Amino acid sequence: MISKEKWAEIIKGFQEKPLPEVFLRDIKIRTELPIQRAVSIIGPRRAGKTYEMFCIIKELEKRYKIEDILYVNFERADLGALSYDSLAVMLDTFNELSPDSKKWLFLDEIQNVYSWEKFARSCLDQGIKIFLSGSSSKLLSKEIATSMRGRNLTYKILPFSFKEYLRYNNFAVKEYFSSAEKSRLLSLLKEYFYYGGYPEAVIYKEEREKILRDVFDTAIYRDVIERAKVRNIKAMKMLISALISSNEFSVHKFYKFLKTQGIKISKNALYNYMGHLNDAFFIFPLKKFSLSYKKSEHSIPKIYYIDNGLLTINGIDDRGKLMENLVFIELMRKERDIAYYRSVTGEEADFIIKSGKKVKQVIQVCYNLENFMTKEREFKALVKAGKDLKCKNLKAITWDESGEKKFKGKKISVVPLWKFLLSE
């Protein structure tokens, strides 16, 4: 167990060291709540969770003493394996150094600590304000919600949105643009389209491919293979490669393929590997829409990814795939309830937005509609989905076309990608 002397060194080290400059994100996390709840900040590795904590700490410093605030990153190499007892010693040391005052705890990558939930509840009972971060979606799970007894609020931090990307590049978003402004907007969109929004890759453009490769390797090897104790590393690597090159993904078909390659692994293990990749915010399986929950859950999912940059560095340059992925990320960012739709005759709509069992909007993503056959195919599928799902709100997202189109008597709103990404 870590001694009080070591904890005192860590605590004083944080309080004496100035915080780095931070970029204000669009997410708004309240520091003063009328109820005693922990704040959980979750998201993929290197998306900006730590810097969001630093933003909050900087705001608190305007009203409170730094001696009453503590930030600890639980991936420090000198901490090793930690548990509830280790955190209890940390808190005792913190209280001794700054007695009789309101306390603020910021615990980064908390999923690395055994029984952290018990410690968090104890802090709340003592009136301590506690902020937690983690690169595991399990911090959203029902098990965690139960163990915290409904005493936490969760916020997601994803890589930069396009709006944040523009703001970082000093581009002001407004209602109308000059031709020069529009040209720069599309130029920035092209960069974002291929290289995504991981903060370091945005800030250090000259090194962005190396940075993205490092993010990819770290997310896979630390957050998946090491954390989940994956045994069949070869199968995992082949799974990741297959997922990246796929649109839809059948575990059953992949399992049969591995058998032909002489690789022994159970189908359940492959499903577990998929779960680990989803837990680390790397992939997001999207189910097919059905009024039957069972049919939806057993449908073959379409696979989407946390950031286009991770696709680009792995050789994906299909503009249609990248554009569809970018739309998915934005819908996820806006916390829409979505699925894809395929009719019994095979027409497919990329996304439907649901409210319960009611479909509110059908979205088709198409890089451009210049080719007559492409336009006919995409609009036919969109109108078919609208008819089957009793939804009149039909939208087509393209690279830079806009306006209202009619197809077989149905209105279709055509929206350029940049406008969709900047919409509320």
State the helix-helix crossing angle for 267-279 and 251-260, rounded to 10 degrees.
120
Range list of H helices, 37-178: 49-61, 84-97, 116-125, 142-147, 162-168
Residue that finishes a domain, picked among 140, 156, 172: 156
Residue in the block written with tokens 């939930």:
117
Residue in the block written with tokens 């520091």:
31
Model pLDDT for residues 66-117, shown as the tens digit of each residue = 999 999 999 888 888 899 999 999 999 999 999 988 899 999 988 888 888 8
In the predicted structure, residue 142 carries a pLDDT above the cut 60? no
The domain tally of the chain equals 2
User: How wide is the angle at C-alpha 370 spanned by C-alphas 364 and 340, nearest 5°?
Assistant: 10
Residue that finishes a domain, picked among 156, 176, 209: 156
CATH of the domain at 95: 3.40.50.300
In the predicted structure, residue 33 carries a pLDDT above the cut 80? no
Residue 269 lies in a domain: no
Cα–Cα distance, 52 to 298 (Å, whole number): 37
Which range among 143-147, 158-162, 173-177, 403-407 shows the weakest confidence by mean pLDDT?
Answer: 143-147
Q: Is 53 helix (H, G, I), strand (E, B) or coil?
A: helix
Of 147-156, 199-208, 290-299, which has the strongest mean pLDDT?
A: 199-208
Short-list 250, 224, 218, CA closest to 236: 224
Residues 205 and 107 in one domain: no
- Could you tell me whether strands 337-342 and 348-355 are parallel, antiparallel, or unpaired per DSSP bridges? antiparallel
pLDDT band at 141 (very low <50, low <70, confident <90, very high): low
pLDDT band at 197 (very low <50, low <70, confident <90, very high): very high
In the predicted structure, residue 253 carries a pLDDT above the cut 90? yes
Residues 223 and 361 in one domain: yes
State the DSSP string of 207-218: GHHHHHHHHHHH
Short-list 167, 195, 163, CA closest to 330: 163
Residue 127 lies in a domain: yes
Cα 297 to its chain centre, rounded Å, is: 21
In the predicted structure, residue 148 carries a pLDDT above the cut 70? no
Residues 71 and 115 in one domain: yes
Residue 214 lies in a domain: yes
Residues 132 and 202 in one domain: no
Residues 33 and 116 in one domain: yes
Give the domain range for residue 365. 164-227+280-422
Residue in the block written with tokens 């998201």:
43
Amino acid at 1: M
Short-list 206, 163, 155, 151, CA closest to 36: 151
Model pLDDT for residues 289-328, shown as the tens digit of each residue = 988 878 888 899 999 999 999 999 999 999 999 999 999 9
Which token pair is 287?
């189910």
Residue 403, strand partner residues: 414
Residue in the block written with tokens 């198409």:
366
Cα–Cα distance, 53 to 71 (Å, whole number): 8
Residue 239 lies in a domain: no
Residue 241 lies in a domain: no
User: How wide is the angle at C-alpha 328 spanned by C-alphas 324 and 333, nearest 5°?
Assistant: 150
Residues 131 and 205 in one domain: no
**For 10-32, what is the mean pLDDT?**
89
Spell 276-286 as b/e; 16+ CB within 10 A means b.
bbebbbbbbbb
**For 365-386, what is the mean pLDDT?**
94
- In this structure, are residues 398 and 416 in contact, taking their beta carbons and an 8 Å threshold? yes
Residues 207 and 64 in one domain: no
- In this structure, are residues 230 and 276 in contact, taking their beta carbons and an 8 Å threshold? yes
Residues 66 and 215 in one domain: no
Cα–Cα distance, 322 to 299 (Å, whole number): 23
pLDDT at 295: 87
Spell 160-187 as b/e; 16+ CB within 10 A means b.
bbbbbbbbeeebeeeeebeeeeeeebbe
Which range among 70-79, 218-227, 401-410 shows the weakest confidence by mean pLDDT?
Answer: 218-227
pLDDT at 146: 59
Residue that finishes a domain, picked among 103, 130, 156: 156
Residue 235 lies in a domain: no
User: How wide is the angle at C-alpha 270 spanned by C-alphas 266 and 272, nearest 5°?
Assistant: 110
Percent residues over pLDDT 90 in the chain: 74
Percent residues over pLDDT 70 in the chain: 96
Number of other CB atoms surrounding residue 334 within 10 Å: 12
Cα–Cα distance, 337 to 348 (Å, whole number): 18
Residues 72 and 185 in one domain: no
Residue 378 lies in a domain: yes
Residues 170 and 311 in one domain: yes
- In this structure, are residues 74 and 107 in contact, taking their beta carbons and an 8 Å threshold? yes
pTM value? 0.92
In the predicted structure, residue 147 carries a pLDDT above the cut 70? no
In the predicted structure, residue 149 carries a pLDDT above the cut 80? no
Cα–Cα distance, 245 to 273 (Å, whole number): 17
Residues 197 and 53 in one domain: no
Residues 115 and 191 in one domain: no
Residue 317 lies in a domain: yes
pLDDT band at 152 (very low <50, low <70, confident <90, very high): confident
Ranges assigned E (strand) in 16-80: 38-42, 69-73
